[in-house]
Amino acid sequence: MNAATGRADMRTGWSPYAFVAPFVLVFLVFTAYPTLQSIALSVQQTYGPQASRYVGLQNFVGLAHDPLFWKALTNTAVFAAGSIFIQLPCSLGLALLLNMPQVRGRAFFRLVFFSPSLVGMIFVAVIFSLIFEKRTGLLNVLLHRAFGFDPEFPWLEDYVMPALIIAALWMYVGFNMVYFLAALQNVSPDLVDASRVDGAGVWHRFRHVTIPAIRPVGTFIVLLSLVGSFQLFELPYLLLGEGGGPNNRGLTLVMYLYQTGFETGDLGYASAIGWVIAMLLGAAAIMQRAVARGGER
């Protein structure tokens, strides 16, 4: 080993550690440690942040027999289904429209459609708490004037899930559209021309040219929607109150986590709910990879 390379090593030897050290320090203390601690907490029962006792897998057994947990899981799943089967097709439709070569003012439309997703969900909830109001709310007023719809329609009492799905649709339809627009750039114009020359119809072209091209990003958007849906909290929390409205109709998993952990004070039970959410989303992520890869074959 000669002196020159020795010096070079010494000069850069310490620096990578200096660069990663601040991140690693904060990451270890505030992400890695709490992640491990959440495993430990999930087998404990706590009374506030101090007192706790070991209960083994009782939290998970308790969850399996907890009707409120199942209610929250069902509600969350319904909301997620609404996001995927109502919101994403709308987003894709808008993206296809905006992607047409003759559209002018594309930047303007993109700006308008995207802007609601920057409004924090808690603020969206405050705005929609007025919009969903019976009789005086904007939605019922407009529906009544346009279609003679019942002005007393009780969105926040009996139609909680549609109300949540509508508010989320408003908020995220343009957000997902931007991803679909990016994905549509992968559609090869040559292939579109070729299929047109071959006399393929619009639907045929969509099915065999567009869909395969946007499949990888498409499955990623589905996963992203699932991740977001399973963490739904602010919207029902503010619109319906802590319990999720009458009969817990709008109680979501994260609301239940919040309720057990920070109202009741059982951080252990809350962590167990957290792990159920994590495992469900983990399974979804594995499925997404399989489906996205399946398209490449």
Partner 1 sequence: MSRVRRGLLIYLPLLLCSAVILLPLVYMLCASIKTNEEFFTSPFLPRGSGFLGIAWDHLTSVHYRRLFYDYAFGNNIINSCFLASATSILATLLTAMGGYALARFTFRGRSLLMGLVLGTLVLPNVLLLAPSYQLLYRLGLLDHYGGVILPLAAPAFGVYLFRQAFIAGLPRELLEAGRIDGCGEMRLFFSVALPMVRPMVGAFLLITYVGTWNNFIWPQIVLQTPEKMPLSVAIAQLRGVYFQDYGMMMAGTAVSVAPVLVLFLLLQREFIAGLTAGAVKS
Whole-number minimum distance, CB 158 to partner 1, in Å? 20
Whole-number minimum distance, CB 131 to partner 1, in Å? 6
Whole-number minimum distance, CB 260 to partner 1, in Å? 9
Whole-number minimum distance, CB 261 to partner 1, in Å? 5
- Beta strands 51-54 and 44-47 are antiparallel
| CA proximity to 259, closest of 284, 233, 285, 281 | 233
| CA proximity to 189, closest of 210, 217, 211, 219 | 210
Is 60 or 114 the residue whose CB approaches partner 1 more closely? 114
Q: How far is CA 53 from CA 41, 176, 274, in A?
A: 10, 44, 19
Collect all residues with Cβ–Cβ distance below 8 Å to 229 and sequence separation of at least 6.
76, 79, 80, 83, 84, 168
Is 38 or 195 the residue whose CB approaches partner 1 more closely? 38
Is 30 or 54 the residue whose CB approaches partner 1 more closely? 30
Is 204 or 289 the residue whose CB approaches partner 1 more closely? 289
10 Å Cβ neighbour count for 99? 17
244, 255 Cβ separation under 8 angstroms:
yes
C-alpha neighbours within 13 Å on the C-beta side of residue 287: 10
Is 76 or 248 the residue whose CB approaches partner 1 more closely? 76
Whole-number minimum distance, CB 278 to partner 1, in Å? 5
- Distance between CA 256 and CA 261 in Å, rounded? 8
